[in-house]
C-alpha cells in the first residue's frame, strides 16, 4: 500500500479520473457522468506521491449514505486500492450518527468485489449509462 486516501476539495482531479475511467475507457456519455450532485458530495481522492490514482463520491439521503463514482486508474487495479477507497467511504459515512446504511450501484461484473466488502444485492438489474447495475447495501 503506497497510496494515501483523503477527503478533497480538488473536484477537478476527481473529474479527470472519472473522465479517464468512465468516459474514455468505458464509453459512458458525458451527459450521464456529470451531474449537479458533485457540489454537495464529499469527494475522496487516492494519491501516490501526489499523483491522483483513484476517487469515490459520497452522498447522503436520509439514513442512507451513498458511495458512488468509485474508480481507479488501470495501473493501480488489482492492488487493493479500490477496496481501500470503498472502505474509506464506509468509514467516513459511519462517523455520521444519522446514517444506518451504505448503498451503492454496482456494475454487474463488480458484484463479487462489493460482496467481499460486506455489501449484499438488494434490487433488480437496471441499466445505468448502458451498463447493467444492481443496487447493493450494507449496514453501517
Domains with residue ranges and CATH for the chain: 4-139 (3.40.630.30)
End-to-end CA distance of the chain: 25
Q: pTM of the predicted model, to two decimals?
A: 0.95
| Residue 42: predicted pLDDT | 98
Q: Along the 140 residues of the chain, how does pLDDT read in single tens digits?
A: 699 999 999 999 999 999 999 999 999 999 999 999 999 999 999 999 999 999 999 999 999 999 999 999 999 999 999 999 999 999 999 999 999 999 999 999 999 999 999 999 999 999 998 899 999 999 99
Cα–Cα distance list, 59 to 41, 55, 133 (Å): 5, 14, 18
Measured between alpha carbons, how far is 113 from 138 in angstroms, rounded to an integer? 13
Amino acid at each position: 500500500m503506497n497510496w494515501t486516501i483523503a477527503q478533497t476539495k480538488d473536484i477537478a482531479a476527481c473529474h479527470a479520473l472519472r473522465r479517464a475511467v468512465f468516459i474514455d475507457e468505458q464509453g459512458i456519455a458525458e451527459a450521464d457522468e456529470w451531474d449537479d450532485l458533485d457540489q454537495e458530495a464529499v469527494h475522496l481522492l487516492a494519491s501516490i506521491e501526489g499523483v491522483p490514482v483513484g476517487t469515490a463520491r459520497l452522498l447522503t439521503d436520509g439514513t442512507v449514505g451513498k458511495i458512488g463514482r468509485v474508480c481507479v486508474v488501470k495501473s493501480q487495479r488489482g492492488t487493493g486500492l479500490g477496496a481501500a477507497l470503498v472502505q474509506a467511504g464506509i468509514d467516513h459515512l459511519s462517523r455520521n450518527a444519522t446514517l444506518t446504511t451504505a448503498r451503492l450501484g454496482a456494475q454487474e461484473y463488480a458484484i463479487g468485489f462489493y460482496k467481499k466488502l460486506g455489501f449484499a444485492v438488494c434490487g433488480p438489474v437496471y441499466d445505468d449509462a448502458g451498463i447493467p447495475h444492481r443496487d447493493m447495501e450494507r449496514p453501517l
